[in-house]
């Protein structure tokens, strides 16, 4: 069962979301989770993730503990990178359990602001963290052109 997720403003490299609002979003998510507890829904949730920029690439890291690489899909449309998949509900034994980990479909999206080299994108899953490296498109460096006469 996946619970609805509070859609946080989309982070972009040019317009990052202020971190000051994170506690507010976390409280809103807790309220939504409490309101929908025990209710089935098809809305995907968003895993925690970070986006950083280096001189030659964008690096996206998302927390996906317990998943295998074949349970994760990474796609690129124009300059929007999307990471999707599903965390399956595990069978529980015993009469009671308290559930806090999310299950169901998840979706993480990030819009990359600059030109990218889609042919060289690399995705690695290690220790529950998916790291996607999106190289920037190479462009000619500024150069001086000699005028011949």
Q: State residue 56's pLDDT score.
A: 93
Pick the closest to residue 67 from 108, 27, 97, 96 (CA basis).
108
- Which pLDDT belongs to residue 102? 74
Question: Each residue of 35-84: pLDDT tens digit?
Answer: 766 555 567 888 999 999 999 999 999 999 989 999 999 999 988 999 99
**Domain limits of the chain?**
47-135
CA 133/CA 119 separation, integer angstroms:
11
pTM: 0.65
Q: What pLDDT is stored for residue 77 in this prediction?
A: 92
Q: With residue 32 as reference, give the H or E element that holds it.
A: helix 22-35
CA-to-CA separations, 26 to 36, 86, 92, 99, in angstroms, rounded = 15, 21, 27, 17
Mean pLDDT of all residues in 74-98: 83
Q: What is the assigned CATH class of domain 47-135?
A: mainly beta
Does the pLDDT value for residue 5 go beyond 90?
no
Q: Which residues, 6 or more positions from 66, have their beta carbon under 8 angstroms from its beta carbon?
A: 87, 128
What pLDDT digit, counting tens, does each position of 12-32 carry? Answer: 555 555 667 777 777 777 777
């Amino acid at each position: 069962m996946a619970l609805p997720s509070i859609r946080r403003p989309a982070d972009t490299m040019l317009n990052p979301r202020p971190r000051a609002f994170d506690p507010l979003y976390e409280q809103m998510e807790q309220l939504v989770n409490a309101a929908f507890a025990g209710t089935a829904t098809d809305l995907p949730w968003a895993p925690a993730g970070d986006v950083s920029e280096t001189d030659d690439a964008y690096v996206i890291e998302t927390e996906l503990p317990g998943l295998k690489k074949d349970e994760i899909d990474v796609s690129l449309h124009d300059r929007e990178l999307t990471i999707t998949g599903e965390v399956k509900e595990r069978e529980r034994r015993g009469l009671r359990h308290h559930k806090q980990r999310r299950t169901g479909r998840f979706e993480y999206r990030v819009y990359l602001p600059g030109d990218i080299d889609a042919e060289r994108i690399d995705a690695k899953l290690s220790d529950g963290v998916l790291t996607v490296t999106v190289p920037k498109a190479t462009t000619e460096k500024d150069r001086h052109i000699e005028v011949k006469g």
